[in-house]
Amino acid sequence: MSYTTIHQCANDEAFQARLMACAAQEGAENPEYSMSVLLRWPVASATDVADAYEYAVNADNPNPGGDDTVITDEMILGKVQEILNPPPPDVLNPQ
């Protein structure tokens, strides 16, 4: 993965649309805001997402951000849930 690839993925309109749809399904009050401010960069820079996107770009896939065989809905959902619905603090630091 490269910073160029992460940038391409984060600015891919089809990828952004998928993030926004996921945010909406997960109950975000403003899915567009969630996508652009909270989700876009962390999800695009996640290792599995960035690696898959880069592989697709190198394979000349014309629509890597919109191709759900490249970045699956499950990959997106897992990252979005971690960001929008983090576990309660006591689960992170049990006492």
Distance in angstroms (rounded) separating the CA atoms of residues 50 and 6: 6
Is residue 36 exposed (0-12), middle (13-18) or buried (19+ Cβ within 10 Å)?
A: middle
Q: Does residue 56 form part of some domain?
A: yes
The domain in which residue 69 lies consists of: 3-85
- Please list the pLDDT of the chain residue by residue as tens digits (95 residues): 799 999 999 999 999 999 999 999 999 999 999 999 999 999 999 999 999 999 999 999 999 999 999 999 999 999 999 999 887 777 556 66
Q: Into how many domains does the chain fold?
A: 1
Q: Does residue 92 form part of some domain?
A: no
Q: Does residue 29 form part of some domain?
A: yes
Whether the pTM exceeds 0.85: the reply is yes
